[in-house]
Chain A
Amino acid sequence: MSFRYKSALLSLVSMALIYVWFFVALVIHYRTGHPFNPVAHLAGTIVALAVVQIVGHAIIAGTSSDKYDAPDERERAFDRRATMVGYYVLIVGALMGIGTLHLGFDGPMVGDAVLFAIVFAECTRQSVFLIAHHRAG
């Protein structure tokens, strides 16, 4: 496995797990009215993700001999394909997030919906990159 493959896998898994925790707590808050500080919760999520990414990348860099290699044409092609798919997911998700305004959602809920679209688009981008790697051998 190349360094960039391991990096994409780490990013996907860490983002998915940490943001699932974030959004589950958010849904519980909206449904039960459980006391909740959304700013502290979001800040904690971002810090946790940053720590996991920094530590995780330091570990995989230590086990990858190709960590300093520039991406070549094949990896750039994977990246372009992944970014293109992620972009469309982001646009559709953001429009749907804004559309929640018409469902009676308030400001913070619309913001959370857009944040979900951003996270989902990034997870999609990383997934497409990993799938392209797998398919191309």
Chain B
Amino acid sequence: MFPIANNVRAEREARGMTQSELGAAIGLTRQTIAAIEQRHYSPSLEAAFRIARLFETSVDALFQWEE
């Protein structure tokens, strides 16, 4: 598991989006969104900013470093 925790799942579900819809909106596949939510993959900085912009929040609020 990667040390970067995230609130992507909670934010996505709060907006009623599916993983496929979120992926299509920011240019990632459904499998990658699922991997990010399960902390099996840390997205690039660009992808993190795209997700944050889509959810109208900051990268800091969306991703947290956890030892």
Contact = CB atoms under 8 A, between A and B. Distances in A.
Interface in A108-137: 136-137
Contacts of B47: 73
Interface in A8-29: none
Nearest to B44: A73
Contacts of B31: 2, 74
Nearest to B40: A137
A79 interface: no
Interface in B14-60: 23, 27-32, 34-35, 38, 40-41, 43-44, 46-47
Given A73-B47, A74-B41, 16 more contacts: A2-B29, A66-B29, A66-B30, A72-B23, A72-B28, A73-B28, A73-B32, A73-B46, A74-B28, A74-B29, A74-B32, A75-B29, A136-B40, A137-B34, A137-B35, A137-B38
Interface of B: 23, 27-32, 34-35, 38, 40-41, 43-44, 46-47
21 contacts: A2-B29, A66-B30, A69-B29, A70-B27, A72-B27, A72-B28, A72-B29, A72-B32, A73-B28, A73-B32, A73-B46, A74-B31, A74-B32, A74-B35, A74-B41, A75-B29, A136-B40, A137-B34, A137-B38, A137-B40, A137-B41
